[in-house]
Amino acid sequence: MQNNKDIFVSKPYFPSLKKYVKYLEKVWENGWMTNNGPMVLELERKLKKLLGVKHLLFVSNGTMALQLSIKALEMKPGEIITTPLTYVATTTAIIAEGFTPVFADIDIDDYSMDPKEIEKLITKKTRAIMPVHVYGYPSKMRQIERIAKKHNLKVIYDAAHAFGTEVDGVSILNAGDVSALSFHATKLFHTGEGGAIVTNDDALAEKIALYRSFGNVGDEHYLPGVNGKNSELHAALGLVNLTGIKRHIARREKLAHTYDTYFNKTDLYRIQTGENVKYNFAYYPVLFKNEAELLSVMGGLEKKKIHARRYFYPALNTLPYVNKQDCPVAETISKRILCLPLYTGLTSAQVKEVARIIVNKITISKSIQKKPANREYREVIKI
């Protein structure tokens, strides 16, 4: 059990129990617990409308969303190029589906996959590219999809962090062949456990629906599917949480700006979004000069029962069960990046306390303000 006095990097939002019970009463009235019941269908409809996407299929979790996406594309066994800076589920989903993960190093400014590195890794065994909209920031979609088209590759976006992020007024979930979402309890929008798959391809959506439900309809069996469905209970929680999603994003944005007021006069590096990007404020990552400074800050925070997290550490190309590859940018970033507490129930006073501890722990040089040039930044992180 978590101590209520502790401050965590994220904390599940618990909606009004009375409102949730009203939805649960409908579940009991319907007598329908799973197998794509009315709550699931309602949640899918509302999410499609909110996010501006054509097809959205609610599934059991974000990892299953990735695995079902790979299954439904029905690619020959081979390699999938992905990022070393994300949660381990991205890599394990690839391995679980019988493919080999190949890691493309990341861009130094926004931590997304570097398109130049992707193209270097393409071989006859390459079947797809799996970028991650890491921390909810858009990956380099146009360049990636240009490469994919040139080499006839599929693009599967791990969009676990990307709920609500838009570019030029359009959800980034519309990019690629398919996007996989996570609705885990700690996510911006959650259903306790859950996830979703988004695609604009009618035939692919139909195939995903089959794979999600054992590959059969009634007594007719079409595909070697799995049980990727989610329940009416989870969908009901999602429907309640959906009513406050704009308020949650606005709250996170306000807290992020509070952090900014403390850090703008330091050389802590933070990703900068372009004017055409509507960010969802899923995370608040900061980059330190070196790992020693990060560990010092974490120690200071822990003394005050503040639990920041090393999202994402270690770099996945260093895992013991993958083919080792050199990704120097990802490896140094993973050792120096820390996600700070950011969630709806956090108070401005708590954010200020976190920020003050960090500012008092770091050495402020003022050599870099906000987004640095690549050359300057390389000197700081010693690549």
Distances from the Cα of 359 to the Cα of 135, 268, 301, 311, angstroms: 22, 9, 11, 20
pTM for the full model?
Answer: 0.93
Give per-residue pLDDT as tens, 274-302: 889 999 999 999 999 999 999 999 999 99
For domain 245-381, give the CATH number: 3.90.1150.10
Give per-residue pLDDT as tens, 11-67: 999 999 999 999 999 999 999 999 999 999 999 999 999 999 999 999 999 999 999
Residue 284: helix, strand or coil by DSSP?
Answer: coil
Q: Are 161 and 133 in contact (CB under 8 A)?
A: yes
Confidence class for position 4, pLDDT limits 50, 70, 90: low
The matching CATH number, chosen from 3.40.50.720, 3.40.640.10, 3.90.1300.10, 1.20.1250.20, for 17-242 is 3.40.640.10
The tokens for 366 are 């003022």
* CATH 3.40.640.10 domain residues, the chain: 17-242
> In sequence order, which ranges of 38-105 are alpha helices (DSSP H)?
38-51, 62-73, 89-96
Least confident of 71-75, 236-240, 374-378: 374-378
Percent of the chain with pLDDT over 90: 92
Q: Residue 274: what pLDDT?
A: 87
Give per-residue pLDDT as tens, 123-166: 999 999 999 999 999 999 999 999 999 999 999 999 999 999 99
* CATH 3.90.1150.10 domain residues, the chain: 245-381
Q: Are 235 and 43 in contact (CB under 8 A)?
A: yes
| DSSP letter for each residue of 110-170 | T-SBPHHHHHHH--TTEEEEE-B-GGG----HHHHHHHHHHHT-EEEEE-TT-TT-EETTE
